Amino acid sequence: MDAAKVADYLDEMARLGENYSTADLAVTTAEPNAGDVTIVAPEGYAPVAVETAQVEVDGGVNSGLGVAMAETGEIAQPTRGSGFGFSGGVSARGMSRLGGTCATQYFDPAYPSKGNEDHRLTTCWEKWKSNSSSNYVYNRWAYFTKAPSAIGSSKTRDFTIRSRPWKGTESRVTSMTGHTPAPSGSCGSSANFSLSAGPASISIPIHKCASLKTLEDANRKSGGIDWNGETSSQLFLDFAMGLTATSTPTYADYSWMEVQYCEGSPCWAPSQYLKKADSGF
């Protein structure tokens, strides 16, 4: 078990008011095509697909990471305390929280980084259910921190998160009743958006909602959000879905990050983007 990454995860979760022990956690290491990936998450929430891609561009390289996570068993639950920072739904009316958790993924950069830091993604989810109907809310949020380059220039060019019913459980979800943020793009840089679930409702905090494309698909009962641009800063993404289901839905979560590195300056737009692979999560 990677002690440093486990300690980092425990510290991050404590800031959110969720206190785990080392025994609650599982560490998964993968060595796909380009760079090592280490994932720290509670037992029962595990990677089901890890994809990397890399392409040389003029004077540098583009690298991407795709990870699909899913509930694979009973998820270890933390003791709850007070926290701050990113959080789940608030101001629930007529709804109960069924559970949720976060996973942190570390990805080797394709360039020399300051302090040998890794790229770092934390992705979280939670489920809520109406107390009086078969309505649910699935809430998802994530933040990505690019490893700072020791030389040259590095920028995040793409960050996408998506969720859909876990393969084989699609029939549980009978309809998608809402998605926030809405495709109208009427979202501010920081605001709470109310999502109704039949007679109940919950307020979902949405952060940094700019330069985004929503990826909701009512037919597939799936949701998501995609950021494309150019930044060296940490990125945040959030979305939530209203659902009806015959029993508690099980969702799989997919994340994709793409980073561009140039040895010199300026760092021109890449001549080729990497494909967002989808392995049927």
**Contact in structure between 246 and 174 (CB atoms under 8 Å):** yes
* Over residues 110-128, mean pLDDT: 91
**pLDDT for the residue numbered 5:** 92
* Of 186 and 262, more confident: 262
Question: Is a pLDDT exceeding 80 seen at residue 22?
Answer: yes
Give the dihedral sign, CA 267/269/270/273.
positive
Name the band, by pLDDT with cuts 50, 70 and 90, for residue 90.
low
**Residues with Cβ within 8 Å of residue 114, at least 6 apart in sequence:** 147, 148, 149, 150
As beta bridge partners, residue 190 has 207
Least confident window among 29-43, 92-106, 135-149, 206-220: 206-220
**Contact in structure between 60 and 50 (CB atoms under 8 Å):** no
Least confident window among 15-19, 139-143, 201-205, 244-248: 201-205
With the CA atoms of 40, 44, 45 and 46 taken in that order, what torsion angle do they form, in degrees rounded to the nearest 10? 70
**pLDDT for the residue numbered 41:** 92
Q: What is the pLDDT of residues 224-253, one digit of tens each?
A: 999 888 888 888 888 889 999 999 999 999
Q: What is the pLDDT of residues 126-163, one digit of tens each?
A: 999 998 889 999 999 898 999 999 988 888 989 999 99
**pLDDT for the residue numbered 25:** 93
Nearest Cα neighbor of 109 from 144, 58, 68 is 144
Q: CA distances (Å), 150 to each of 64, 108, 119, 182, 226, in order?
A: 19, 14, 13, 39, 28
**pLDDT for the residue numbered 42:** 93
Q: What residue has token string 């659902």?
A: 243
**Residues with Cβ within 8 Å of residue 39, at least 6 apart in sequence:** 27, 28, 29, 30, 46, 47, 50, 67, 69, 103, 104, 105, 106
Provide the 3-class DSSP secondary structure of residue 170. helix
**pLDDT for the residue numbered 12:** 86
Question: Is a pLDDT exceeding 70 seen at residue 194?
Answer: no
Which tokens sit at 263?
Answer: 């040895």
Least confident window among 39-53, 115-129, 188-202, 260-274: 188-202
Q: Is the pTM of this model over 0.85?
A: no
